[in-house]
Amino acid sequence: MQGHPVSAPTTAFQLEPSGSFSLAAAARFLTGFPPLSGTRSAANGHVHLAFSVDGSDSTVGVCLQAWDDAISGEIVGDAAPAVVRKQVARIFSLDVDGTGFADVAQRDPVVGELQAQYPGLRPISFYSPYEAGVWALLSQRVQMTQAARTKARMAEELGDTVELHGDLIHAFPAPARLLELETFRGLFGRKAEYLRGLAHAALEGRLDADRLRSLPTDEALAELMRLPGVGEFSARLILLRGAATPDGPPAREPRLLRAVTLAYGLEAPPTEAELERLIDGWRPYRTWTAFLLRAMLQDQT
């Protein structure tokens, strides 16, 4: 089941953000985000990625670099450039018009302070809903560092490798590679079974990002929670940070409550009604604001 090196013609593409975006800010965030093991902040402002392409078993490497008001991309691997470009745009939230995010700051000064603290930082998503689901399953009932080590080992031992400008990166294995997974160091309980079920769902198109984003939120979450081992928190992670829904309601979990308490200078965590009022004011960028709050909490803790 071991992967293989990826070598194929190089293709270039370009992305032009609508609204503020900083590739340097994204790179800084990625250095402290263990779940995305197939990412490097390379020299000279480059960002290197390796991932399985949406809807296929192909693996590609992508080198990103900022040029003036655009982001240039270089693809290494055999895949449709338009599909890869679209996937990269989703990963870095560049498929969303961000010009209206400043309006949220006008309504909520705390959001304005977060935007000033993290200029140009947009949500960084998992490479796909499938990879977000993998992380949700691996991180259940274990520390993040332990789950990150397991995911990195799976990428190294089962995934393909890509060389970008001398940088060798292991991509997490595509869904088809997990169909026969019975055991792996770091997995326990029914996690191997759950990962196989997730791989089946991905291959059947049930984890297609466009499809999930097109569904009403409650319907998408209900469908995701029918996957083996996926509860409400995991379903929200897959939808918000896998399909990269820009305005999904964040999970009311302890880390968000702590971040809100710190950012808004509250003496105690907000009540359900108080939190609902704040979150409602973040529309139509609820996912984006929650992401900045979690980035702030990560930096402070």
Question: The tokens of 127 are what?
Answer: 């490479």
Collect contacts of 266-273 with beta carbons under 8 A, ≥24 apart: none
Q: Report the distance separating Cα 1 and Cα 9, nearest Å.
A: 25
Looking at 159-216, list the stretches that DSSP marks H as alpha helix, in order from N- to C-terminal side.
175-178, 191-203, 209-214
Domain spans, the chain: 129-154+173-241
Give pLDDT, residue 71. 97
The pLDDT tens digits for 143-173 are 999 999 999 999 999 999 999 888 889 999 9
Note whether 131 and 238 are within 8 A (CB): no
The whole model's pTM is what? 0.94
Render pLDDT for 89-133 as a digit per residue (tens, 0 to 9): 999 999 999 999 999 999 999 999 999 999 999 999 999 999 999
Predicted local distance difference test score (pLDDT) of residue 7: 58
Tell me what the pLDDT averaged over the chain comes to.
93
**Coil, strand or helix at 59:** strand
Q: Could you tell me the two tokens for 8? A: 């194929």
Q: What residues contact residue 103 under an 8 Å CB cut-off, 6+ apart?
A: none
pLDDT given at position 32: 79
Q: Please, what is the angle between helix 129-138 and helix 144-158, to 10°?
A: 130
Asked if 123 and 295 count as a contact pair (C-beta separation under 8 A), the reply is no
Beta-bridged to residue 50, according to DSSP, are: 61
Query: With contact defined as beta carbons under 8 Å apart, do 283 and 247 qualify?
Result: yes
Q: Is the pLDDT of residue 231 over 70?
A: yes
Among 159, 155, 141, 121, smallest CA distance to 32 is for: 121
Please name the fold of domain 129-154+173-241: Endonuclease III; domain 1 (1.10.340)
- The answer to whether residue 142 scores a pLDDT higher than 60 is yes
Q: Is 264 exposed, middle or buried, given 0-12, 13-18 or 19+ CB atoms closer than 10 A?
A: middle
Q: Which of 153, 142, 154, 145 is nearest to 181 (CA)?
A: 154
Per the rule left: phi > 0, alpha: psi between -120 and 50, beta: everything else, 120 is left
Q: How confident is the model at residue 33 (pLDDT cuts 50, 70, 90)?
A: confident
Output the six-digit token pair for 271. 């009540």
The arithmetic mean of pLDDT across residues 52-73, rounded, is 93
Percent of the chain with pLDDT over 90: 83
Examine the pLDDT at 1 and tell me if it is beyond 60.
Answer: no
Between 87 and 180, where is the model more confident? 87
Q: Residue 43 and residue 98: Cα distance in Å, rounded?
A: 28
